[in-house]
Amino acid sequence: MKTLLFFLLLPVYANSQTISPEKIYKKVSDAVIKIYATDNKKEAKGQASGIIIRNRAWIITNYHILNVGAFITTQHNDKTYEIDSVVSMDPEKDILIFQMKDAEKIKKDKTIPQIQIGNSAKLNVGQKIYAIGSPMGFENTMTEGIVSGLRTADDSAKNLIQISAPISPGSSGGAILNDKGELVGISCGVITTAQNLNFAIPINDVMATVPGTNVGRGDPETFLTGSSLAEYDYNKGVNAYMTRKYDSSIIYFRHSLNKSAKTKRPQIYYCLGVVHQFSARPDSALYYFEKTIEIAPNFAEPYLSLFEIYAAKGDLQKAVQYQYKAYQLKPDMRHHKTMNFKMLPPY
């Protein structure tokens, strides 16, 4: 019985031990990647860092990377990882979690370390921490320091870990690890007018953006995916539409629609109708415009779109009926020019 008790307790005891910086780097560094924000020409406009949570095929980073470019690409050691959609995001707290493409393949990819999730609620001022990221593009740079303070931003409810481990532009979204190699935060910024005032977002706050997520257990397998947010995919759909990339736009809007199924957002159906209309697929456009009206009967724009489609088909009786309804709901639409390039509504 004593021997059995020893073996039962041994894994817990071993897991609680600190490990050397060298072992921490070897253990987790290949889960930390570069992220680029690019423009429509795929030219880089900004660079940040991100963390792969392999068991969920997630990439964790900062939301502010979206402010500098229309498209996101991720890579590590010249290998590119594709993004499928957004799991969750919180602009105010500067948190963004992506879902990676080929998720099942990623989960089985043993070249990506399985980073363990710590509990940031247990952090104490003075304890040792390590930062891994790509400051100024120097991939997988590791620095060490301590927890200098546990703060709340003056202008928001955002919790921050103040750290002495040096970080720089390009480190945003990188890993902050405790001396067990557990992820306890993500780098988010520095105060450039002062010396060595660096900050990170607690990992508990990051994971709390995903409904149902358990934090502080050290095991990503305990996570529940929860409901995904659709705004990012919607905005990507708008960007693709504005650059006439209609097939890509349809894919993004469908992703957004799937993630918004419970709220039945009529503007997504309307956008799908517009994109199908401009890409010469009138029958599909009809379906989405009619679905929009079913959900939001006082939304004027889809009536006018149906007028355009039926007029093009030669069914003038139906066309006039829809035109009249559109003008009834929104009289200033009488100045509308048929098949103008439509501005899509905000999410």
**220-239 confidence digits (pLDDT tens):** 333 333 334 567 778 778 87
Mean pLDDT estimate for the chain:
84
Most confident of 202-206, 235-239, 339-343: 202-206
- Residues 6+ away with beta carbon under 8 Å from 115: 28, 31, 51, 52, 53, 54, 175, 183, 220
Q: Which of 182, 216, 220 has its CA nearest to residue 19?
A: 182
Catalytic residue among 29, 49, 88, 172: 172
Q: What would the two tokens of residue 69 be? A: 């470019």
Question: CATH 1.25.40.10: which residues of the chain?
Answer: 231-335
CATH architecture of 231-335: Alpha Horseshoe (1.25)
Structure tokens at 36: 């680029």
307 pLDDT band, cuts 50/70/90, is: very high
Residue 64 annotated as catalytic: yes
Element (H or E) spanning 26, and its range? Answer: helix 21-28
Domain with CATH 2.40.10.10 in the chain: 120-218
Query: Which two three-digit tokens encode residue 136?
Result: 């100024």
Q: Which of 29, 49, 64, 276 is catalytic?
A: 64
Q: What angle do CA 213, 346, 156 make, to 5 degrees?
A: 50
Reading the block at residue 8, the tokens are: 């039962």
Q: Domain 120-218 classified CATH 2.40.10.10? A: yes
Token pair belonging to 133 = 């990221």
Residue 97: in which H helix or E strand, if any?
A: strand 95-100
Contact 148, 125 (CB under 8 A): yes
Catalytic residue among 29, 49, 88, 94: 94
Catalytic annotation on 335?
no
Q: Average pLDDT of 203-227?
A: 58
Q: Distance of alpha carbon 32 from its chain centroid, rounded?
A: 16
| Mean pLDDT (whole number) for 242-271 | 84
Tell me whether residue 155 is one of the annotated catalytic residues. no
- The answer to whether the beta carbons of residues 327 and 301 sit under 8 Å apart is no
User: From CA 132, how far away is CA 35, in angstroms rounded?
Assistant: 14
Neighbouring C-alpha atoms within 13 Å toward the C-beta of 18: 9
Distance set, CA 326 to CA 298, 303, 319 (Å):
9, 5, 11
